[in-house]
Chains A and B, each alone.
Chain A
Amino acid sequence: MRRLLVHSSLRHLGRHPWLTALSLLGIALGVAVVVSIDLASGSALRAFERSTDAVAGRATHQLVGGTSGLSEDVYRDLRLRPGAPVSAPVVEGYVQAAVGDLRTLTVLGVDPFAEGPFRDYARGEAVGDVGQLLTRPGTVLLSERAARALGVSAGGELPVRVEGRQVVLRVAALLAPADEDTARALEALVLTDISTAQEVLGKEGRLTRVDLRLPGGEAEAKRLEATLPQGVELLRAAARAGTVEQMTRAFRTNLTALSLLALVVGMFLIYNTMTFSVVQRRGMLGRLRAVGITRGELFALVLGEALVLGVIGTVAGVLLGILLGRGLVGLVTQTLNDLYFVVSVRRLALEPLTLAKGLTLGLGATLLAALVPAWEAARSAPVTTLRRSTLEEGSRSRAPRLALLGLGVLGLGVVLLAWSTQALLPAYAGLFAVLLGAALLVPWLTERLSSLATGPLGGAFGLLGRMAARGVRTSLSRTAVALAALMVAVATTVGVGLMVSSFRGTVVSWLETSLQADVFISPPSLVARRGDATLAPGLAERLRATPGVAGSSTIRVVKARANDIPTDLLVVDFSRTGARPYRFKEGDAATVWRELDASPDTLIVSEPFGFHRNVGVGDTVRLATDEGPHDFRIVGVYFDYGSDVGTMLMPRATYERWYDDRGVSGVALYAAPGQDVDALVTAARERVGDTQALMVRPNRSLRQASLDVFDRTFTITQVLRLLAIGVAFVGVLSALMSLQMERARELAVMRATGLTPGQLWGLVSLQTGLLGLLAGLFSLPLGVGLAYILVHVINRRSFGWTLRLVVTPETLVQAMLLALVASALAGLYPAWRMARANPALALREE
């Protein structure tokens, strides 16, 4: 008996190959999007961790200093003291290769004599003359793989760019790492002696950190800490590792949530397919019930079918996800590089956990979506199962109840969203509740609206018009699902689209106010949104003295540790300009600037900083300065959309009071009245000369460059949006197609009673067009609602930004077009088939 059931199932799926294939595609796409995003962002993170691990080695603790690292004397004194702990000095920085694939390379400067206890890769086998590391300036080691990718060999030259300078390194030897992990970590690493690292990176006299091994644990750490000079801090090595994970958490969570939206749309697809297959076979199922098949067995039958589809679709989805992920990893990496840190990802890290997660999600979603149809199949009595009309009557009578339920779910979603918490999970739960609630409203709304449409459509197209409208109503069990799927999909694209355009609008107006100077000069930086490179000494002064300059300011961007978390600190010298291009969220501008100038214990923080640390005006931030930890009072919170983790700002005078660093990362020049800006740019370029390759940009081009970076960081979001559209499209296609195919007999009857193929075509097109129109209409309010949630709840909770929601008509028109085009396309094939089919054949019972 069971074999018979299985056989009938398979036969059924086989008889509708296109629908089966479409639902497989739907599942596969949904799973693929989730898996690919997970893989891509996971790989980027792994790559970063690996390089951090390789660089951190087996240190248990680290000594770190202020913004410019710590003096090498600290290390010397540590080594010379009795009972010195096991230690190793490290100078670390980034350069960009000027050959090969121009990859970004981490320069790791170490002392070979102190390295042994810390880093293993260095113990492997090297080919070439390692001894030159100490005696010949500019000598480095590369891994064999990196050397191959860069096209250099042992004894060859490796030109690199550092903050606009070109430096030629000599590759003394190639390292052949012992294992794959080390090999990957070394792919973007230049290993060199500490002397060369200091010279290449311009960090003479300074160390990035001192690695320590303190087997005595915290007790030993405490003892050591007590003896450290001012401005030197002892950190646990483990504390460092978590910061990257934390820094990018919001970014990754949002990507994952967006990818889940695609899966939700995919779920509607499964639901649709399974409902369809149940409805199709209502006669068969009724007969099965009549011959003694139990409800449980029918339930299992439908779920079993779903499982088969789910397994195939999910496996395909995971594979497709790997393919997509390979493509997306570049985009994700680019975004991470623009926003957070320097990482170069060479390949996908296939984590079994990610793949398992994808499989579970896919299967879970399929089974969940099949529950209702399975329950419906099992529920009906033997006789009623035979009648389609019973089902539709049930659907219609259930519609108001579903709508009420939908309202309830919507209400729940709103409550969840309004819940004042910083947690992202309730926000996303609320978002999905809103989607679900809206979907539950669809049947009732469809019924009402299609009733309303009967009149006008009848007026315009006569009988066919009325039939089309009524058809939507009479097959509510099917049309509602298709509509809901289409609505959710289109609404997602509307919501994400509006969110991005609102964000962009806010950034554009922020750039208007914050970029007031006429010419900006800075060295090229490896993280686009963090210009922390340094101008050659003396260059800033020379530039500020360019004739035709009425005023100027300089900026220094450094990483400072605020309450032990590395954070960007902007140091601005406002002494030669009256311009203060900052707008304040908290604090009155005049008071803020007065207080900043008056007290060397004050600073201002950006909106995301205040949000993440939960601080505001009047609170204090503890910075690790070169004079030791010091508390600074926050006197203002400024708007800033440059960094989602937040920044701090202090005047140059305050910085120089607390830090030894005297570097300058950028100069802004204000043209004198009547001074031609282009001429000023040329003059500034001439002043720079060959000292350093600097970017000298007029206001307009910097603004454009900033927007380009912004757009680049949202590319991945746009791609996700497109993928969601793809899934939605497949969903609509399969929903509407199955709807029309299922009406084959009905249409055949019409053909038999005299409807011409052209009229049939018109009928089908009208009906799918009506569905598309309805879906478009439904999706607009939902889409705007989604955008509101994304902008005011999700974005705020993730990054703390205040954005202005702008509803752009283009996005809405786009959405309508999408819905209509998808439905029009979906109507084509069934109409064509029905018009061609021999009515007599179609009329034959199955």
Chain B
Amino acid sequence: MTRLTRRGLLAAAALGLGVRGAGSEAPRFATLDWALLETLLAMGVTPVAAAELVLFRAVAVEPPVPPRVVDIGLRGTPSFEALRLARPSLIFSSNYYAEMEPKLRRIAPVETISVYARGDPPFARAEDAARRLGTATGREGAARDLIAATHAGIERARDDLKRVEDRPLIVVNLGDARHFRVFGPDSMFGEVLARLGRTNAWRARTFYSASAPIGIEALARFPEAWIVVLPPVPPDARRLLPESAMWAAFPSVQAGRVLQLGAMNPFGGLPTAQRFARLLSAALLDPAGARFD
């Protein structure tokens, strides 16, 4: 009995050593957090495992996730077994998963890097996250490149937008035909708007993401603004809004100043910031191509 157990333990230890101990093996990274995942991928680091890839591919879209990355299931309830079987040597987690850390530590060392924290603007934290990921993965250069590329991308979009009339923008997410959520100046999208030299029509804080649902009539307060709609657009909103008298009364709607951008992750990192800047400037330069209707 004792011998059997000891043999089992030895075998397990040997197996663990075989993967982790060998110096020749490349380090194997895993992450639960989507902002960290997109940052890693943008730095050219392919993790062995990440969470909820089905939805990530649909919502965050870029960077593309190579098929060999193991999907460990939902972010809220990841499969620790799948993560264990992927045999990571370092796991990147964020404050959202603080509760799971003791279990993650049983699989591999955990490094916690949080892009979103209360009362702290996310853009600088996203840059910091890229730097820390660079240090942890030994790709400091790639991290510097990503930060530079993000700044350059935003700068390019800012230059392009100089050709477009300066109007305030309001970035929203439609809940149904009667409600929207708005991204305030303290959200990632709000910060990118500021860096693009544009005005966010919504001046109140929204606690680094979107606000609680707001009645659609509140859009009347911004007659001058561009309304930027982020997906997903619920089917009944798409059906009912064109028939709605309130919606039709908004000067922005009458003037065709409603845009719909491609899908993006509202809790993203630097790649999301870059994507937002690029898609927004493209849409504003060619509003006909991105018109919401």
A and B interact physically: no
B-to-A contact residues, CB < 8 Å: none
A-to-B contact residues, CB < 8 Å: none
